[in-house]
């Protein structure tokens, strides 16, 4: 008996066009216009073949629009050109004369509605026929010749194995192709590394035909790799060309063509593509879903290493089927407009830069060391084990304190040690070290050699920290034992350096290559003077946001911008030599040495600012002869709540504080009054800022009180500090900010998004190209401005009033409303600790719901066990805001907040909870 498989050409399905699947030619495929669909015959390397193509060219011609460029979009496996329907629709929505993109999305041969090829029937485990990578590059040559495309501007777009093919074709046709865009893909797989588990089973010769051809297994698994489950109609659309075994030969063929081994017949073509990308210098955009189990972050890192100039946007939460999880049309066409649009290139525009010579933080530390009393304490860590001292003189000789000389010497020694370990300029170093002396030494040592410190709060939690570290993809992880244990167990990228010396056994367990303790001892007395200082424009640090309004974002600062921030703090708050700062917020502890202030880290939980007590602040004041204190509003509330337990000595220490700063959330005047009684000699300021710009506006306590008396909505945060310019993007009826900006003086009383320009703002968001582009989409006076996502208004005295975040706007029938317009007067009620105003219902007709956290001792505000407020209290809430129609008042024992400041209320979570409560459901507290 002849057991050789029969190879039979499988004819294309009877339905050659998607339109054939529905009566009357209507589309059975959601989002796909049948008018885009056509068949094209091309002369490929193995004869004439018929391709099915989705093409917006005819639609543009029907409108009389000549395309200014063409996008060739190549799908992967097991999808077809239907994958790109949102890109085709987006191109037509944006098309105007002089700015239109033609999109051509072919079904690859053996896929979709294009010609089927010869395959063994039935499929055999040892004989899977497939079209090779090199041949598919030739298929694109033939198709583009047949279409006779105007290649004045030609861009490739790909996904999955279509990404490899499209990038390979771009490299091969570099004379014609002007730019490349790809979604999740891989252009190399190191021999010896295991294939991702998601592919490994399907590639096994014994099971490949069964999972890819004989059944829909591989197809169904792929369609399940979405953030939200696809609708039945969309799933059916993807499955339509692959409904029978005869139509699925190409799926098996694509899997068989994965060149994971060096001996694979397609390996040479893959190596040629991956090598060719190193010489690719044209504009490139990477759009990535980091939850992809197949094309993991290691493949993204490889792409970035080969094409270092590529722009990247990581869509947190999205995975392999990125185009189904997110709107990729908006970033894609924005990027194309920036590079090929009629206006100036984004590269020709600039952000404000610091004026004159600005010293980096490491240089400012050296200057401060020379000018300070060098044997006095520079940093004091009150979280360390206590010793028997309570004065600054004792502190200078204690293990919890480092003098200016000691700090400078340790920074120098560690800089030399890190260099000897292999840390280089531009390397990213994830710092998993709690705030305190050690973190200060490590950060300044990294800054000195030009390494980029990556700082993500432990308060983000394990999931948030993992997301942040993988987003930044550090070259090194430097941490204490808890952080290193997490890095090892969760597979965080980067070589590991321990803070403390470890036993050989623990070194092996954690995979560390060095430790700070040993490096300091080995290189004591050494200096990195032979190493050049980093350039002002070099990246210095990536600081992650609190994650209170979505996944935490990495904010990139250059040496010049951090230096400008330090200089601004010195000027704004008149910080003189000999000043001492109690830092209840880690960034200020790290900035302390650069501004010439002794930095004291108080005894508190880093991840819970509300744990800071009055006693801890007083002890820190005694230890550092403190003159300044910074704490979040949550920290201030607990300091006030615990002040009765202060001793006479502690009271005297707090009486020496001359400046109190609080930021991170608006501070109510009543809280400021209480704080003033604890720090009687202090000026109290509530500066306005964010991770993207730590100081933008400022106001002192009396100014807050005077402003509050005017009865305006929100909380007044003062006027712009030196070098900062504000503008406003007014909100429409649905709470959307306008594209056109108005100067603060021309928008008095208008509610809008706050927009800012300053030389000490962030340099950009890390690996979030589109987020960065959207936040800096405004150009005025030749400068790029930053949209803060905060909403508020300006008064006639140019004071800024913050009323909430853009995503928390209440779009009522009476117009847009900021949460602060409701919360400020409600918070003033004696029964209320704090409140949140949240919207329920569709935008434009949203109801206003107020959720209250009772003040201490005010527990009887509910109607029985229901979260609904007791009737008389609900009336008092409504009376406090007579101009607002409050639909319901709810009571929660504690409002959920962010993890960094314990001050930013999670209104998104509260809005979802309120909607469920008002719908009559029994719902747990959020």
Confidence of residue 872 (pLDDT cuts 50, 70, 90): very high
Cα within 13 Å of Cα(754), Cβ side? 29
What distance in Å separates the CA atoms of residue 156 and residue 164, rounded to the nearest whole number?
11
- Give me the pLDDT at residue 903, please: 60
**Tens digits of residue pLDDT in 94-138:** 998 888 999 999 999 999 999 988 766 544 444 456 789 999 999
- Give me the pLDDT at residue 13, please: 45
Q: Please list, in sequence order, all residues whose beta carbon lies within 8 angstroms of the beta carbon of residue 898, skipping any fewer than 6 positions away.
A: 546, 547, 548, 904, 906
**CB of 898 closer than 8 Å to CB of 547:** yes
**Tens digits of residue pLDDT in 886-911:** 999 999 998 987 655 456 788 989 99
Supply the range of the domain harboring residue 329: 6-340
- Give me the pLDDT at residue 646, please: 95
**pLDDT at residue 688 tops 50:** yes
Residue 794 lies in a domain: yes
Q: Does 159 share its domain with 231?
A: yes
Q: Please list, in sequence order, all residues whose beta carbon lies within 8 angstroms of the beta carbon of residue 574, skipping any fewer than 6 positions away.
A: none
Structure tokens at 909: 């979570």
- Give me the pLDDT at residue 476, please: 98
What distance in Å separates the CA atoms of residue 199 and residue 903, rounded to the nearest whole number?
45
Look at residues 596, 123, 671 and name the one whose alpha carbon lies nearest to residue 374. Answer: 596
Q: Please list, in sequence order, all residues whose beta carbon lies within 8 angstroms of the beta carbon of residue 151, skipping any fewer than 6 positions away.
A: 70, 176
**CB of 261 closer than 8 Å to CB of 190:** no
Structure tokens at 219: 């197809």
Q: Does 827 share its domain with 796?
A: no
Residue 365 lies in a domain: no
Q: Does 850 share its domain with 707?
A: no
From residue 123, give the alpha-carbon distance in Å to each of 110, 225, 246, 458, 734. Answer: 15, 26, 10, 53, 57
Residue 121 lies in a domain: yes
- Give me the pLDDT at residue 8, please: 37
- Give me the pLDDT at residue 373, please: 66
Query: Which stretch of 317-321, 333-337, 393-397, 645-649 has the lowest confidence by average pLDDT?
Result: 393-397
Number of domains in the chain: 3
Q: Please list, in sequence order, all residues whose beta carbon lies within 8 angstroms of the beta carbon of residue 808, skipping any fewer than 6 positions away.
A: 818, 819, 838, 839, 907, 908
Confidence of residue 201 (pLDDT cuts 50, 70, 90): low
Q: What is the mean pLDDT of the chain?
A: 89
What distance in Å separates the CA atoms of residue 740 and residue 429, rounded to the nearest whole number?
40
What SS3 class is residue 539? strand
**Tens digits of residue pLDDT in 342-396:** 766 666 666 777 766 777 888 888 777 776 666 788 999 998 765 443 444 444 4
Structure tokens at 914: 């309120």
**pLDDT at residue 608 tops 90:** no
CATH code (residue 104): 3.40.50.1820
Q: Does 726 share its domain with 820?
A: no
Q: Does 854 share its domain with 778?
A: no
- Give me the pLDDT at residue 551, please: 86
Confidence of residue 721 (pLDDT cuts 50, 70, 90): very high
- Give me the pLDDT at residue 368, please: 72
Of 808, 833, 850, the position where a domain reaches its end is 808
- Give me the pLDDT at residue 346, please: 64
User: For 130-266, where are the alpha helices, taking DSSP H only?
Assistant: 133-147, 161-172, 197-203, 208-212, 217-223, 232-239, 249-256
Query: What single-letter DSSP state applies at residue 196?
Result: P
Confidence of residue 17 (pLDDT cuts 50, 70, 90): confident
Q: Please list, in sequence order, all residues whose beta carbon lies within 8 angstroms of the beta carbon of residue 861, skipping any fewer than 6 positions away.
A: 831, 852, 854, 869, 870, 873, 891
Q: Does 173 share its domain with 218?
A: yes
Residue 245 lies in a domain: yes
**pLDDT at residue 665 tops 80:** no
- Give me the pLDDT at residue 344, please: 62
- Higher pLDDT, residue 291 or 1: 291
- Give me the pLDDT at residue 366, please: 79
- Give me the pLDDT at residue 198, please: 65
Mean pLDDT of 275-290: 97
Mean pLDDT of 754-775: 95
Q: Does 826 share its domain with 760?
A: no
Neighbours of 836 (CB within 10 A): 26
Q: Please list, in sequence order, all residues whose beta carbon lies within 8 angstroms of the beta carbon of residue 506, skipping any fewer than 6 positions away.
A: none
**CB of 526 closer than 8 Å to CB of 416:** yes
Mean pLDDT of 7-32: 63
Mode of pairing for the β-strands spanning 778-780 and 598-601: unpaired
- Higher pLDDT, residue 566 or 903: 566
What distance in Å separates the CA atoms of residue 717 and residue 709, rounded to the nearest whole number?
14
**CB of 432 closer than 8 Å to CB of 453:** no
Query: What single-letter DSSP state applies at residue 261?
Result: S
What angle do the packed helices 329-340 and 85-94 form, to 10 degrees? 50
**pLDDT at residue 774 tops 60:** yes
Of 777, 808, 839, the position where a domain reaches its end is 808
- Give me the pLDDT at residue 395, please: 47
Q: Does 778 share its domain with 840?
A: no
- Give me the pLDDT at residue 898, please: 63
Q: Does 772 share its domain with 789?
A: yes
Residue given tokens 């979505």 in the structure block: 550
**CB of 52 closer than 8 Å to CB of 81:** yes
Query: Which stretch of 172-186, 656-670, 717-731 has the lowest confidence by average pLDDT?
Result: 656-670
Residue 238 lies in a domain: yes
Of 781, 808, 835, the position where a domain reaches its end is 808
Q: Please list, in sequence order, all residues whose beta carbon lies within 8 angstroms of the beta carbon of residue 883, skipping any fewer than 6 positions away.
A: none
Q: How far apart are the first and last CA of the chain?
A: 70
Q: Please list, in sequence order, all residues whose beta carbon lies within 8 angstroms of the beta carbon of residue 36, skipping any fewer than 6 positions away.
A: 54, 55, 56, 58, 59, 88
CATH code (residue 722): 2.30.38.10
Confidence of residue 299 (pLDDT cuts 50, 70, 90): very high
- Higher pLDDT, residue 107 or 436: 107
**CB of 403 closer than 8 Å to CB of 465:** no
What SS3 class is residue 386? coil
What distance in Å separates the CA atoms of residue 155 and residue 167, rounded to the nearest whole number?
10
Residue 171 lies in a domain: yes
- Give me the pLDDT at residue 199, please: 73
**Tens digits of residue pLDDT in 399-427:** 689 999 999 999 999 999 999 999 999 99
Mean pLDDT of 506-532: 95
Mean pLDDT of 614-638: 92
Q: Does 724 share its domain with 763?
A: yes
- Predicted model pTM: 0.90
Structure tokens at 846: 């949203």
The H-or-E segment that residue 401 falls in is: strand 401-403
Neighbours of 190 (CB within 10 A): 9
Mean pLDDT of 640-661: 95
Q: Does 95 share its domain with 244?
A: yes
What distance in Å separates the CA atoms of residue 431 and residue 434, rounded to the nearest whole number?
9
Look at residues 601, 598, 602, 600 and name the one whose alpha carbon lies nearest to residue 579. Answer: 598
**Tens digits of residue pLDDT in 806-846:** 999 999 999 999 999 999 899 989 999 889 999 999 999 99
Residue given tokens 């694979």 in the structure block: 264
Buried/exposed 856-883: b ≥16 CB within 10 Å, e otherwise: eebeebbeeeebbbbeebbebbbebbee
Residue 80 lies in a domain: yes
The 3-class secondary structure across 850-915, one letter per residue, is EEEEECCCCCCCEECCEEEECHHHHHHHHHHCCCCCEEEEEECCCCCECCCCCCCECHHHHHHHHH
Q: Does 814 share its domain with 803?
A: no
- Give me the pLDDT at residue 52, please: 95
**pLDDT at residue 188 tops 80:** yes
Residue 95 lies in a domain: yes
What distance in Å separates the CA atoms of residue 144 and residue 794, rounded to the nearest whole number?
56
């Amino acid at each position: 008996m002849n057991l050789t498989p029969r190879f039979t050409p499988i004819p294309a399905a009877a339905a050659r066009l998607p339109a054939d699947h529905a009566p009357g030619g209507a589309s059975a495929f959601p989002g796909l216009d049948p008018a885009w669909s056509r068949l094209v015959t091309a002369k490929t390397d193995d004869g004439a073949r018929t391709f099915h193509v989705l093409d917006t060219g005819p639609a543009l011609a029907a409108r009389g629009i000549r395309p200014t460029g063409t996008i060739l979009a190549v799908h992967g496996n097991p999808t077809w050109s239907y994958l790109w329907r949102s890109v085709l629709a987006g191109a037509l929505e944006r098309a105007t004369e002089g700015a239109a993109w033609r999109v051509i999305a072919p079904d690859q041969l053996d896929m979709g509605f294009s010609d089927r090829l010869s395959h063994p029937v039935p499929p055999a485990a040892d004989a899977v026929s497939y079209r090779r990578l090199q041949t598919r590059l030739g298929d694109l040559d033939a198709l583009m010749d047949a279409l006779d495309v105007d290649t004045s501007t030609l861009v490739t777009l790909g996904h999955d194995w279509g990404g490899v093919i499209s990038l390979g074709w771009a490299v091969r046709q570099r004379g014609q192709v002007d730019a490349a865009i790809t979604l999740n893909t891989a252009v190399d797989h190191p021999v010896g590394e295991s294939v991702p588990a998601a592919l490994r089973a399907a590639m096994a010769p014994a099971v490949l035909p069964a999972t890819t051809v004989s059944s829909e297994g591989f197809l169904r698994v792929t369609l399940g790799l979405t953030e939200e489950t696809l609708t039945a109609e969309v799933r059916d659309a993807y499955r339509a060309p692959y409904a029978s075994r005869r139509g699925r030969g190409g799926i098996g063929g694509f899997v068989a063509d994965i060149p994971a081994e060096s001996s694979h017949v397609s390996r040479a073509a893959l190596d040629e593509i991956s090598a060719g990308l190193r010489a690719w210098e044209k504009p490139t955009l990477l759009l990535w879903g980091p939850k992809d189990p197949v094309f993991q972050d290691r493949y993204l890192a490889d792409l970035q290493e080969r094409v270092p100039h590529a722009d990247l946007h990581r869509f947190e939460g999205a995975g392999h089927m990125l185009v189904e999880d997110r709107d990729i049309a908006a970033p894609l066409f924005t990027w194309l407009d920036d590079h090929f649009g009629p206006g100036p290139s984004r590269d020709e525009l600039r952000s404000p830069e610091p004026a004159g010579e600005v010293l980096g933080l490491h240089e400012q530390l050296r200057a401060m060391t020379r000018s300070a009393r060098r044997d006095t304490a520079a940093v004091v860590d009150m979280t360390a084990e206590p010793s028997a001292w309570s004065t600054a003189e004792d502190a200078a000789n204690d293990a919890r304190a480092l003098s200016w000389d000691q700090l400078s010497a340790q920074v120098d020694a560690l800089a030399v040690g890190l260099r000897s370990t292999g840390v280089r300029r531009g390397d990213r170093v994830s710092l998993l070290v709690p705030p305190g002396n050690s973190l200060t030494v490590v950060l300044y040592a990294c800054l000195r050699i030009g390494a980029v410190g990556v700082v993500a709060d432990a308060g983000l939690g394990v999931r948030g920290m993992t997301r942040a570290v993988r987003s930044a993809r550090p070259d090194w992880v430097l941490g204490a034992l808890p952080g290193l244990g997490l890095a090892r167990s969760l597979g965080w990228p980067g070589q590991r350096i321990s803070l403390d010396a470890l036993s050989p056994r623990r070194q092996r367990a954690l995979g560390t290559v060095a430790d700070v303790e040993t490096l300091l001892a080995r290189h004591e007395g050494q200096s990195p003077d032979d190493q050049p200082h980093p350039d002002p424009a070099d990246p210095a640090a990536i600081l992650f946001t609190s994650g209170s309004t979505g996944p935490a974002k990495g904010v990139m600062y250059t040496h010049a911008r951090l230096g400008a921030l330090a200089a601004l703090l010195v000027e704004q708050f008149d910080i003189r030599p000999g000043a001492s700062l109690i830092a209840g917020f880690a960034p200020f502890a790290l900035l302390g040495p650069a501004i010439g202030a002794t930095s004291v880290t108080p005894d508190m939980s880093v991840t819970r600012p509300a744990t800071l007590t009055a006693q801890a602040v007083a002890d820190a004041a005694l230890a550092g002869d403190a003159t300044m204190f910074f704490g979040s509003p949550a920290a201030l509330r607990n300091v006030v709540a615990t002040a009765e337990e202060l001793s006479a000595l502690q009271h005297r220490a707090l009486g020496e504080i001359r400046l109190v700063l609080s930021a991170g959330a608006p501070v109510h005047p009543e809280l400021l009054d209480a704080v003033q009684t604890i720090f009687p000699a202090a000026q109290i300021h509530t500066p306005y800022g964010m991770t993207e710009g730590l100081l933008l506006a400022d106001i002192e306590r009396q100014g807050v009180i005077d402003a509050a008396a005017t009865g305006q909505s929100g909380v007044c945060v003062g006027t712009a500090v030196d070098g900062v310019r504000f503008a406003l993007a007014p909100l429409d009826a649905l709470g959307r900010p306008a594209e056109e900006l108005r100067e603060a003086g021309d928008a008095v009383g208008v509610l809008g998004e706050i927009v800012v320009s300053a030389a000490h703002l962030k340099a950009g968001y890390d690996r979030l190209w589109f987020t960065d582009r959207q936040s800096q989409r405004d150009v005025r006076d030749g400068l790029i401005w930053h949209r803060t996502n905060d909403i508020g208004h300006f008064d006639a005295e140019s004071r800024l009033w913050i009323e909430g975040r853009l995503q928390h706007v209440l779009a009522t029938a009476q117009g847009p409303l900021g949460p602060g317009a409701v919360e400020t007067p409600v918070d003033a009620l004696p029964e209320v600790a704090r409140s949140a105003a949240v919207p329920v219902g569709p935008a434009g007709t949203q109801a206003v719901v107020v959720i209250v956290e009772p003040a201490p001792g005010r527990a009887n505000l509910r109607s029985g066990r229901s979260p609904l407020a007791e009737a008389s209290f609900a009336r008092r809430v409504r009376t406090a805001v007579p101009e607002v129609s409050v639909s319901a008042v709810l009571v929660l024992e504690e409002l959920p907040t962010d993890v960094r400041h314990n001050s930013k209320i999670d209104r998104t979570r509260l809005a979802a909870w309120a909607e469920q409560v008002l719908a009559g459901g029994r719902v747990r507290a959020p």
